[in-house]
Amino acid sequence: MKEYYVYIMASKRNGTLYTGVTSNLIKRVWQHKAGEAKGFTSKYKVNQLVYYEIHGDIMEAIKREKNIKAWKRNWKLQLIEKSNPDWDDLYKAIV
């Protein structure tokens, strides 16, 4: 079964946030870290994986990504801190 990931990247603790969706989390986070993801994330140095969740259906993942993007910033911070209170870079745990 294919997996899809909704993820949140941050520039630092309580810094700039970016929410995305991908089918290859390791590759996509590496692209953010290497600056290959041109645009918002490279401009604001958003390169730490602070949250992710796994979905089995791409439409479900896209819907969740859109919902999170529409949230107030405080809600996003609460989501991150619920599962990652120290704002660790989770990339180290998935590679």
DSSP-assigned letters across all residues of 2-58: --EEEEEEESSTTS-EEEEEES-HHHHHHHHHHT-STTHHHHTT--EEEEEEEES-H
pLDDT score at 5: 98
Domain spanning 4-94, CATH architecture = 3-Layer(aba) Sandwich (3.40)
Q: What is the mean pLDDT of each run of 10 residues along the chain (95 residues)?
A: 96 96 97 88 93 98 98 98 97 95
pLDDT score at 53: 98
pLDDT score at 66: 98
Q: Where are the domains of the chain?
A: 4-94
